[in-house]
Amino acid sequence: MRGWREALLPPEATIRQAMECLDRTGLQIALAVDAQGRLLGTVSDGDVRRGILGGLGLDEPVGRVLNPDPVVVPAGASREEALSRMRAQSLHQIPRVDEAGRVTGLDIWKEMLSPRRRPNRVVLMAGGEGQRLRPLTDDRPKPLLEVGHKPVLETILEMFAAAGFRRFTIAVNYKAEMIREHFGDGARWGVDIDYVVEPAPLGTAGALGLLDDRPQETCFVMNGDLLTTVHLDRLLEFHLRERAAATMCVRQYELQVPYGVVRTEGHEIRAIDEKPVHPFFVNAGVYVLEPEALEFVPRGERFDMTSLFSALLSAGRRTAAFPLREYWLDIGRMDDFERAKDEYADHFPARPA
């Protein structure tokens, strides 16, 4: 229950302040309380993301995303009682409150039970040529370009390994031998790595059709040329809660019209919007898939991830969007590569040796 007071929010807090609280504490929950410390409701990472997807602004009141009826346990509940309630409700955190409704503590599942290694497969797509990054990619594949004194793909692998993932498949094509030589069987990172070799470029999802040992459990797929600090446990929790066949991480992208937009009715001007900004959600290149989704990927054919999601939608399968609010950068162009080198140390601090 350490540090739970840092998760307290006043009722007048904004969604932005709730986000900052979630990131600062790492507890994955914020507790809105009144002046007497009585619990008004809770805010999770998922609550914030759903609000963003719904179009809420970050400066709107936290009450717009608040869960006003959270599950709690009495202040004097035993450890076993708290764990039982959390297990029954599929919760990772549960507040303790006294008879007056005042918060007295916060139980965290991870702190109460030793974390287990995750069985989920991680497939990293690393077969692209990186033509827009030539001449840097003339003698090495794009995932091996170094940012922060290590290849981009190594940063990605370490992110998953730090979150408990141990089973990796790397899909390779362009200069595949260089990637094999660098990562080997994964022993250096304490993980197991195997490889899928694309005979020709198969798009952003085609390599999934070459998996001989197809995953029997939820799996992750990620492009090998991204840098992100996405919380993988929150992503997996979101996907499972949504009961989706596939979840796509999305990033908000704003497009500004450089002119005044005139709205008319017939020949009459009704309004003029000066250089309006239109927000969109774009594909961020990180996915969570159920085994059933892989059945839609043809074997040995070029197939993009967007085509997979379209096929799932046509078949009536449920798909979900997980909005990224963490750091994210697609290293697709030379200016992106230079930006990544400038920003790396701020978002990926060096790990202790």
Is the model's pLDDT at 345 over the cut of 90?
A: no
For 4-112, CATH gives 3.10.580.10
**Residue ranges per domain, the chain?**
4-112, 118-347
User: Is the pTM here over 0.85, yes or no?
Assistant: no
pLDDT of residue 138: 85
Q: What is the pLDDT of residues 96-106, one digit of tens each?
A: 999 999 999 89
The whole-angstrom separation of Cα 174 and Cα 131 is: 11
Give the CATH fold of the 118-347 domain. Answer: Spore Coat Polysaccharide Biosynthesis Protein SpsA; Chain A (3.90.550)
Residue 6 half-sphere exposure, CB side, CA atoms within 13 Å?
13
The whole-angstrom separation of Cα 315 and Cα 99 is: 51
Catalytic residues: 275
Please confirm whether the linkage preceding 135 is cis (ω < 30° from 0). yes
The whole-angstrom separation of Cα 170 and Cα 123 is: 6
Residue 298 half-sphere exposure, CB side, CA atoms within 13 Å?
9
For tokens 């379209």, the residue is: 310
What average pLDDT does the chain have?
Answer: 88
Closest by alpha carbon to 30, among 4, 12, 55, 68?
A: 4
Helix (H, G, I), strand (E, B), or coil: what is residue 103? strand
Q: Residue 352 — pLDDT band, cuts 50, 70, 90?
A: very low
**Do 5 and 21 contact (CB within 8 A), yes or no?**
no
Q: What is the pLDDT of residues 244-255, one digit of tens each?
A: 999 999 988 878
pLDDT of residue 351: 54
